[in-house]
């Protein structure tokens, strides 16, 4: 049976990759994207489906409960996949208010809208699902020898971002236990891949090498993250929607732990190699003198650590593996090369994001 999905935050990094994945795999379904187009939202991410009858874009805020109710009711939405969030830890340290507003109040507003239409009005109620996209950061930090995060690891968020995501996870759970909303939650590790906003480590390093700018390493650079190719996250959510049990949470990860400094050095090496193999790159990126000299690592600069910086994240994916048959399909070796290639081939995308021309265009479009 075909589905009608409401995807919040579908113009952001993971949301857009999910929409492209979904419409590629399920062309008979309809997807309504609701996105406020904050600095992180980008309609260019959805360019491949913008003319498709299967995708409708709605510019709006998840805190606008009447709008969300109308969308669920009128578009006959049966599945809500909730990505919209303020997502950058550093921004949550300097400006936490927006994180509370979108991640906590906004998620609650969505839950109220879903309850009202699906449960109180009994519209499109059959087989309804509210899937909440959360993060491994809610579990806090691990020591070097600690076992990886499981679904029953106690919550211990350390940044305003992760605390706001933890709060939203609890609200989602409560709406099942109190009102009977059909909910599932995924807690995923660090994603990478196309359309990743260049404030985050991997795209920041790629673009800074091309501009010959410093590569800032927080603290000693030995913090560890578990990296997952973004399409594998979309596949995980797909499996949860298909086979996941209501009111369950599933951890999704890459079984791919890397210290930050090692990942930065890896990207430097790949970039040196790309410049050595393709003389056209030096013409296209004349500023990238370190990479042209085969020495991008010279840009590495140790800077002050992030306050409250979590030392290590790692996901134990046993439950998703046993219950859903989930396994990442992309290896890091191929995924990181694909990602680098995507950034080299999509210079206009990241230049527009970085020089503000995309924002100027959006302001003209939507005021």
The residues carrying an active-site annotation are 136-137, 161
CB 22 within 8 A of CB 231: no
- The single residue among 22, 139, 175, 197 that binds ligand NAD, judged by CB under 6 A, is 197
Read off the tokens for 166: 């933890």
Helix (H, G, I), strand (E, B) or coil at 292: helix
Residue 223 contact, options ligand DAU, ligand NAD, none, Cβ 5-8 Å cut-off depending on partner type:
ligand DAU
The crossing angle, in degrees rounded to 10, of helices 201-211 and 260-277 is 40
In angstroms, the CA 215 to CA 15 distance is 27
Interaction residues for ligand NAD, span 169-188 (CB under 6 A): 188
- The single residue among 129, 131, 165, 312 that binds ligand NAD, judged by CB under 6 A, is 165
**Closest to 43 (Cα-Cα) out of 367, 295, 365, 282:** 365
**Closest to 150 (Cα-Cα) out of 319, 355, 332:** 319
- The single residue among 5, 85, 110, 183 that binds ligand NAD, judged by CB under 6 A, is 85
Question: Of the two residues 64 and 248, which places its CB atom closer to ligand NAD in the complex?
Answer: 64
**b/e per residue, 93-111, with b = 16+ CB within 10 A?**
beebebbbebbbbbbbbbb
Kind of pairing between the strands at 257-259 and 224-226? antiparallel
Residue 15 contact, options ligand NAD, ligand DAU, none, Cβ 5-8 Å cut-off depending on partner type:
ligand NAD
Helix (H, G, I), strand (E, B) or coil at 56: strand
Would you count residue 208 as binding ligand DAU (CB under 6 A)? Answer: no
Question: Of the two residues 168 and 190, which places its CB atom closer to ligand DAU in the complex?
Answer: 190
- Options 20-28, 59-67, 121-129, 211-219: segment touching ligand NAD (CB under 6 A): 59-67
**b/e per residue, 184-206, with b = 16+ CB within 10 A?**
bbbbbbbbbbbbbbbebbbbbbb
Tell me the site size for ligand DAU, rule CB under 6 A.
19
Would you count residue 258 as binding ligand NAD (CB under 6 A)? Answer: no
Question: Of the two residues 69 and 257, which places its CB atom closer to ligand DAU in the complex?
Answer: 257
- Options 84-92, 122-130, 201-209, 350-358: segment touching ligand NAD (CB under 6 A): 84-92
Would you count residue 190 as binding ligand DAU (CB under 6 A)? Answer: yes
Give first-to-last CA distance, the chain, whole Å.
39
The contact set with ligand DAU (CB under 6 A) reads: 87-89, 135-137, 189-190, 200-201, 204, 216-218, 223, 225, 260, 306, 313
Binding site for ligand NAD (CB under 6 A): 8-9, 11-15, 34-38, 40-41, 61-63, 83-85, 87, 102, 106, 133, 135, 165, 188, 190-191, 197
């Amino acid at each position: 049976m075909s589905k009608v999905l409401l995807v919040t935050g579908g113009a952001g990094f993971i949301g857009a990759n999910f929409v492209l994945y979904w419409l590629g795999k399920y062309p008979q379904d309809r997807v309504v994207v609701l996105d406020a187009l904050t600095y992180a939202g980008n309609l260019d991410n959805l360019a491949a489906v913008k003319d498709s009858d299967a995708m409708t874009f709605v510019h709006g805020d998840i805190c606008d409960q009447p709008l969300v109710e109308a969308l669920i009711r009128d578009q006959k939405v049966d599945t809500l996949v909730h990505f919209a969030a303020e997502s950058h830890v550093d921004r949550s340290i300097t400006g936490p208010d927006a994180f509370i507003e979108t991640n906590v109040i906004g998620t609650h507003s969505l839950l109220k809208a879903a309850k009202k239409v699906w449960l109180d009005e009994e519209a499109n109620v059959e087989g309804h699902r509210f899937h909440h996209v959360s993060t491994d950061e809610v579990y806090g930090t691990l020591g070097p020898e600690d076992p990886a995060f499981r679904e029953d690891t106690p919550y211990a968020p350390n940044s305003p971002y992760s605390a706001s995501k933890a709060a939203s996870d609890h609200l989602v759970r409560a709406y099942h236990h109190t009102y009977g909303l059909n909910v599932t939650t995924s807690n995923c590790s660090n994603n990478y891949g196309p359309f990743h906003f260049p404030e985050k480590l991997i795209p920041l390093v790629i673009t800074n090498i091309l501009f010959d700018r410093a590569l800032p390493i927080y603290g000693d650079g030995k913090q560890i993250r578990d990296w997952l190719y973004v399409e594998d996250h979309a596949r995980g959510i797909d499996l949860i929607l298909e086979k996941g049990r209501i009111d369950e949470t599933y951890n999704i990860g890459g079984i791919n732990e890397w210290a930050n400094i090692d990942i930065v050095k890896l990207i430097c090496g790949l970039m040196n190699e790309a410049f050595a193999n393709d003389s056209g790159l030096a013409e296209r990126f004349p500023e990238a003198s370190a990479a042209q000299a085969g020495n991008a690592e010279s840009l590495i600069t140790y800077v002050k650590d992030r306050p409250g910086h979590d030392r290590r994240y790692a996901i134990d994916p046993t439950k998703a593996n046993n219950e859903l048959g989930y396994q990442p399909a992309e290896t890091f070796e191929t995924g990181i090369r694909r990602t680098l290639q995507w950034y080299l081939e999509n210079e206009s995308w990241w230049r527009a994001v970085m020089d503000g021309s995309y924002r100027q265009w959006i302001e003209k479009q939507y005021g």
